[in-house]
Chains A and B, each alone.
Chain A
Amino acid sequence: MNSIWVIAKNTFKEAIRDRILYGILGFAVFYLLTDLFFARLALGDVSMVKSFGLAGIYVCGVVVTVFLGASVLYKEIESRTLYFVISKPVTRAEIVLGKFFGLFAAIALTISAMAAIYLGVVGYEAREFDMLGLLAILFELFEMGFFVALLLFFSSFASPLTATIYSSILLFSGHLLELVLENAAQIGGITLRLVSGAYYILPNLEKFNIRGLAAHHTMISWPVGISVFVYAVAYSTLLLYFAIICFKRREL
């Protein structure tokens, strides 16, 4: 447990000292501040301000996660920095988990910074504290946790580019599955069976998307919220388990 904490702390420290992270964060701040300009165009329609802001936080969160997560294990194997760690009393499972928690903490910090600006912008425009917006950002954070686990899994055996492509495809398809299933239901037959199979095997990431609901003041129930949290934890745990298996077999 101590080793996981030490590796997580080190990964976090390394991540937040990366200049490129600040470049992305700077862009995100600029983007969120332009929300003030869009608020004028929307003639006081706060839901548009919220949609724009929440979508921006999501996209920047994905970019930061890809940037930090895609190469994390691969880079350390290639550069042999892992030799220092593996020769210490540390298991490979602890390395994977430490990397996960460290990266997730860095991403959570970045998203928190964007959330603070978002809440400031919405507070200024709508004179309210956007509790639902905050909940939507929390759900985005759950999705980023899943995405970090996915990137770590691919990074345990593939190059950063391959890991990014595979993860992005899964992220994209994970958001389209519900829509594809609805369309397949109209076609029926083998198409429906194939899509249904994919629907149950692949992650359904639309579960994490409550941005539209939050923008239009629609509350979600506690059971739904808890089930989404459990879904994120279960899927991430499964991915980390497979990442550990792959990493254990990897020749260094």
Chain B
Amino acid sequence: MIEISRLTKIYAGRRVVDGLSFSVQKGRVFGFLGQNGAGKTTVIKVVVGISLSDEGCVRIEGLPAGDVAIKEKIGFMPEAPYFYARLTGLEFLRFCGDLFRNRRSKDTASHEELLKEVGIYEARDKRISTYSKGMKQRLGFAQALVNDPDYVFLDEPLDGLDPIGRREIKEIIKRLKTRGKTIFFNSHILYDTEELCDDVGIIHEGKLLYSGPVKEFCAGRPLEAAFINTIEAVSRT
């Protein structure tokens, strides 16, 4: 279970995340939605231990975010990932896997399997500098799964992918869900989110507007319409 309690992050005197509290149950797919600059990436960075919170705390399975023991159990894909361009895809995956303690993460056969799963196996021995944006996105997704994590955090996972790529990644997310993984992802592509999520969190200007089941939030409307109505209602007040 992921528990976020009164999380606040301040940049240059501005509260970009302001007292956020919500939780994500184990085995659920949670979509964290908001406009550009709402604070989604800041939250995910604190949750995976890249940034420190200024107030409040984040706990995963009762351990504080950033704890090395919990990092063994998480996978993270950053938004528009940049890579070590002079490595090949397989070398990069091996590098990421070697940073974990469990043996499966270090196994070349499982790395190759993962590259097949995300559809870039043929390019495994090519340098990452020759990869297209979509291929990099897939490699970023593969490295997030290299340790067979219990918790997968994805920052805009469908960005930069063509429709077929998006469908493939969505299929992988669905498969991960059937294997009991907890998935937390940021997105502004609401059409895809509605299809994937059990729960959603809505963030606007650093404040949480809603957290709970997606069906309850939509109340019969498409997610996009419900989202826009919520944001507009808040903006008017």
Q: Please list the residues of chain A having a beta carbon within 8 angstroms of any beta carbon in chain B.
A: 2-3, 6-7, 9-10, 13-14, 17-18, 79-81, 83-91, 251-252
Contact = CB atoms under 8 A, between A and B. Distances in A.
B172 interface: no
B68 interface: yes
19 contacts: A6-B98, A6-B99, A10-B84, A18-B86, A80-B81, A81-B82, A83-B76, A83-B81, A84-B78, A85-B99, A87-B48, A87-B50, A87-B71, A88-B71, A88-B99, A89-B68, A89-B69, A90-B71, A90-B99
A197 to B, nearest CB: 37
Contacts of A3: 99
Nearest to A91: B68
Majority SS at the chain A contact face: helix
Contacts of B76: 83-84, 87
Given A14-B84, A251-B11, 14 more contacts: A6-B99, A10-B95, A14-B87, A79-B82, A80-B78, A81-B84, A83-B76, A84-B76, A84-B78, A84-B83, A89-B71, A89-B101, A91-B68, A252-B50
Interface string B85-110: 01100010001101111000000000
Contacts of A251: 11, 51
B74 interface: yes
Taking residues whose C-beta sits less than 8 angstroms from the other chain, chain B's interface range is: 20 to 34
B72 interface: yes
Contacts, number: 68
Given A252-B45, A252-B51, A88 B81 contact: no
A85 B83 CA distance: 11
Contacts of B87: 10, 13-14
B72 A89 contact: yes
B160 interface: no
B149 to A, nearest CB: 10
A17 B104 CA distance: 28
A13 to B, nearest CB: 7
A148 B54 CA distance: 33
B61 to A, nearest CB: 14
Nearest to A7: B99
B211 interface: no
B143 interface: yes
Contacts of B51: 251-252
Contact of A88 (B83, B86, B100): B100
- For B71, B72, B101, B143, the residue with the greatest tally of chain A CB atoms inside 10 Å of its CB is B71
B49 interface: yes
Contacts of A87: 48-50, 71, 74, 76, 78, 153
A6 B87 CA distance: 14
Nearest to A83: B78
B104 to A, nearest CB: 14
Contacts of B72: 89
B82 A17 contact: no
B48 A89 contact: no
Given A13-B87, A252-B45, A252-B51, A88 B82 contact: no
Given A17-B86, A81-B82, A86 B49 contact: yes
A17 B87 CA distance: 9
Contacts of A86: 49-50
Contacts of A2: 98, 101
Contacts of A91: 68
Q: Which of A7, A10, A18, A91 has the most CB of B within 10 A?
A: A10
Given A6-B95, A80-B78, A89 B143 contact: no
B219 to A, nearest CB: 35
